Amino acid sequence: MLKGNVVFGVYSDSAQNRVRAQLKQIFLCMGFEEMPTNNFVESSFWNFDALFQPQQHPARDSHDTFFLDAPSTTKRLPEDYVERVKQIHETGGYESRGYVYDWKREEANKNLLRTHTTAVSSRMLYQLAQKPFAPKKYFSIDRVFRNEAVDRTHLAEFHQIEGLVCDRGLTLCDLIGVLHDFFSHLGMTKLKFKPAYNPYTEPSMEIFSYHEGFKKWVEVGNSGMFRPEMLRPMGLPEDVQVIAWGLSLERPTMILYGIDNIRDLFGPKVDLGLIKKNSICRLGIN
C-alpha cells in the first residue's frame, strides 16, 4: 500500500516498446548482460545508502520518493556490509572523510518504490564483489517511480535504461568512448558532456545530443564513475573502477519519434488512438 492517494497507470505504447527492444539488442550486441530488475519495492539501503547518498539528501524526502506503509521496512540486509556503509557515511575511510553525521539504521530499513535502477546496479556490484573479481558489463531497462508533479516532460513513473562496465583501470575516456558507441547505435552521433553532480559518481557528466530536427542540443542522460566510497565498502578491489550511465527510456523515444508530450506516451492520459494505430501494442507488462 502506498502513502497518499496515487494511482499508477499501466499503459505502454508501441513506439516505446520498439525503442526498448532496440536498446536491448544494442546492449546485447555490445556484450552486456541484463540485470534482474523484477523488484519495484526496494529498501532505502540499496536505493540510497549503498550509493553513498546521505540520509539528509532531499531526494530521500517523502515529497520526492514514494515510501511504503506496509511492509514499511526491510527484514534482511547483509549485516557486515551495512556496518561498512554506516562507517563510510559517518567517519569515512579509503581516503574519504565521509559525511560526518549519525547514520541511522531505521532510515536505511525504510521500504520505497525504487527511484532509479541504480538500486539494482548496487545490488549486482555487491554480489560481484563477493566472488573473485571478474570484469562485467551489465544493463537494465525497467520501471522507476518518483513523487513529482506531472508535466509535459515528467511522470511519476517512467522507465530507466542503465549501463555499467566494471573493470580494472577504467578512466573517464572509457566512459566517453562507450557512450559514443552506445548513442551512435541510436543515431545520436553528436554528443556533448557537461560536468554534473551525483552523490555516487565522481566525476559525473550530463550527456547532450544534437537533435537535427529540433536544431538544438537536448539532454539525453546522466553518467559517471562510481565513487570509491560506494565500491570499496562492497569489497571490490582498489584498482577496479565502474563507469555507468542512465537515462529515461521515454527520452530517446520522444526524440526519435518526435513526440513532445510525455503524457502521450505513458501513463493514464496516453492517447489510445496512437496505440491502436501503431502496429505493435503491448500493455505495460515488464
Output the smallest distance, CB 71 to ligand PHE, in A. 24
Nearer to ligand PHE, 234 or 244 (CB): 244
Q: How far, CA to CA in Å, does 48 sit from each of 64, 87, 118, 228?
A: 13, 15, 9, 15
Number of residues this chain uses to bind ligand PHE (CB under 6 A): 11
| Cβ distance to ligand PHE smaller for residue 205 or 275 | 205
Which segment (6-14, 149-157, 241-249, 257-265) binds ligand PHE by CB under 6 A?
241-249
Closest chain position to ligand PHE (CB): 246
Q: Which residue in 20, 86, 114, 116 binds ligand PHE (CB under 6 A)?
A: 116
CB 93 within 8 A of CB 235: no
**Sole binder of ligand PHE in the list 98, 228, 233, 246 (CB under 6 A):** 246
Task: Count, in order, helices (H) and strands (E) of the chain.
Answer: 9, 9
| β partners of residue 43 | 111
47 binds ligand PHE (CB under 6 A): no
Check residue 222 for interaction with ligand PHE (CB under 6 A).
yes
List C-alpha distances in Å: 113 to 42, 63, 139, 266: 6, 13, 20, 18
Asked if 198 touches ligand PHE (CB under 6 A), the answer is: yes
| In contact, 80 and 16? CB cutoff 8 Å | no
Taking the least distance from each CB to ligand PHE, the nearer of 141 and 275 is 141
Contact (CB, 8 A) for 113 and 42: yes
Q: Please report where in the chains the cell 539525453 appears, as a residue.
A: 220
Single residue of 244, 249, 265, 270 touching ligand PHE by CB under 6 A: 244
d(CA 34, CA 225): 20
Asked if 45 is part of the footprint of ligand PHE (rule: CB under 6 A), the reply reads no
Contact partners, residue 281, CB within 8 Å, separation at least 6: 14, 275
> Which CB sits closer to ligand PHE, 245 or 266?
245
Residues of span 127-166 touching ligand PHE by CB under 6 A: 162
Interacting residues with ligand PHE (CB under 6 A): 116, 118, 162, 198, 201, 222-224, 244-246
